[in-house]
Amino acid sequence: CWQRRGFWRGSDRLTLDWWIVTGFVGMLVMFFVTMPMSRRRHARLARKRGRIEVERFERAMARAFVSATTTRFLWRELAAYYHAPLKPLPEDRLESQIMIDRPEIEGLIIHFWRSMRGGDPLPAFSPLNADPTVAELGRHLDLMAGWTVRSAA
């Protein structure tokens, strides 16, 4: 019926457009379906942990050998990825537990570098391990900046 009216005739472009729109709508649906699951996961984790204040995070990161400057940066920047009332801890796995994508983690690294070093070219460093913890990310950032806990700014 549709082919007789010419709807599909010469319409590889039309079918491609249809698949693009369908794919985009599918991605939107997946986003809105998975967001509540992420919130529930964060709420369960927050109930297990209890209240976490910045001082507790700073002490834990210092024990993990992360500089105070990097710790403050991570506390501030990671807040966008944690659903309230959950707060970061050094042992949190960023990809599997907190659900931060690798490109977003790399974006944090670039943002840290630009915040600390301005226009200096980004150095070539070995990549982070798969599914890094907050502490591993902190040590990686300290290494990039050339800081240690003893010589941190």
Task: For 75-91, give the DSSP string.
Answer: HHHHGGGS-TT----TT
Contact of 43 with 83, CB cutoff 8 Å: yes
Task: Supply 127's token pair.
Answer: 């990549």
Q: What is the pLDDT of residue 4?
A: 53
Determine the pLDDT at residue 3: 52
Quick: pLDDT tens for 1-60: 555 555 555 555 557 677 788 887 777 766 665 555 577 777 777 778 777 889 999 999
Q: Per the structure block, which two tokens stand in for 41?
A: 């996961």
pLDDT at 153: 45
- Whole-structure pTM over 0.85, yes or no? no
Q: Report the residue count for the chain.
A: 153
Residue 94 buriedness (CB in 10 A; 0-12 / 13-18 / 19+): buried
